[in-house]
Amino acid sequence: MKHVIALDVGGTGMKAALVGAGGELLHQARRPTGRERGPDAVVEGILGFAAELRAHGIREYGEPASAAGVAVPGIVDEAEGVAAYAANLGWRDVPLRALLAERLGGVPVALGHDVRTGGLAEGRIGAGRGADRFLFVPLGTGIAGAIGIDGKVEAGAHGFAGEIGHIVVRPGGAECPCGQRGCLERFASASAVSRAWAEASGDPDADAADCAKAVASGDERAVRVWQEAVDALADGLVTALTLLDPRTLIIGGGLAEAGETLFTPLREAVRRRVTFQKLPSLVPAALGDTAGCLGAGLLAWDLIGTGTADPSIETTDPSEVTT
């Protein structure tokens, strides 16, 4: 059975799968990234994990993987196949595509940015399926974005396309590690809401999920914190949709897990701000934490020009995941 290897490398954990030609997940596995052991050990861990997946495919399906796709964080030169920089993994200019191709017996390898790869999956087989233009915005520790055009995701001239988290929405506001002040992710990311709610509630251990629960229960302090984040997010999203005119706006990440506690006020805040712009569909992401891995599989199939990536993709129950 023809299949590809898919890897999604995060700061703390790696998710992997063997993906069939129809997009079905044939095998899944997870393990720690091991960043505490240093960047060289992380790279070797990725290569070793991929080699194990290749061996599993040969045992189970009688042939090696036809290609591989890997998604990584940080700055990625997709054209050259180089993981240029990732602060949380400590690496610079790692020729990951070439290293993986060598370890996997010379098969084609696609390298992608984690958010853009997750956005590819959401746009093609997830919440944005059927949309010719979409914007995927995950709200996590920071805020990033993936710009989808006709089933592909735009990387930009230098690999920075979609960095919506660094749109300035509050000039002169909180300092951002990027060097600006007032960036969107300083006000509307899950970590920003966690900080604001910890301060407002007086509980240093409180986080964004706790804030969402307090909002649902009618806590006025939580409502103020939440609305400030929603307003900042709406300002950033309207700037983005003014420039990009997406048909579908997909919101994911930890903050989106609040469901309608987020989406009801956010839709209203965006609606109030648009004037001449067309209001896009604003929907929650559908693929959860499997998006990056699924997107890596799509990159691999695209690379060799086969596979249907059928929208009726099958997922595996978490209890069946191999560790």
Question: What percent of the chain is predicted at pLDDT more than 90?
Answer: 80
Q: How many CB atoms lie within 10 A of CB 58?
A: 12
Per-residue pLDDT at 11 = 85
Q: What are 223-261's pLDDT values in tens digits?
A: 999 999 999 999 999 999 999 999 999 999 999 999 999
Per-residue pLDDT at 230 = 98
Per-residue pLDDT at 318 = 33
Taken in order of first residue, the domains within the chain and their CATH numbers are 3-117+288-320 (3.30.420.40), 130-284 (3.30.420.40)
Q: In which band, very low, low, confident or very high, does the pLDDT at 159 lie, cut at 50, 70 and 90?
A: confident
Per-residue pLDDT at 306 = 56
Please give the model's pTM, rounded to 2 decimal places.
0.87
**Sequential DSSP letters for 152-207:** EEE--SSS-TT-GGGSBSSTT-SB-TTS-BSBTHHHHSHHHHHHHHHHHHT-TT--
pLDDT at 313 over 90: no
pLDDT at 317 over 60: no
Start-to-end Cα distance in the chain: 23
pLDDT at 170 over 90: yes
Average pLDDT over residues 122-135: 94
The sheet that has 109-113: what strands, in order across it? Answer: 25-32, 13-20, 3-9, 68-72, 109-113
Q: Going by DSSP bridges, is the β-strand pair 82-86/75-77 parallel, antiparallel, or unpaired?
A: antiparallel
Dihedral angle over CA of 211, 217, 218, 223, nearest 10: 20
Q: What are 108-127's pLDDT values in tens digits?
A: 999 999 999 999 999 999 99
Q: What are 262-310's pLDDT values in tens digits?
A: 999 999 999 999 999 999 999 999 999 889 999 999 999 999 885 444 4
Q: What are 97-110's pLDDT values in tens digits?
A: 999 999 999 999 99
**Sequential DSSP letters for 290-310:** GHHHHHHHHHHHHHHT-----
Q: What is the mean pLDDT of the chain?
A: 91
Q: In which band, very low, low, confident or very high, does the pLDDT at 319 lie, cut at 50, 70 and 90?
A: very low
pLDDT at 8 over 90: yes
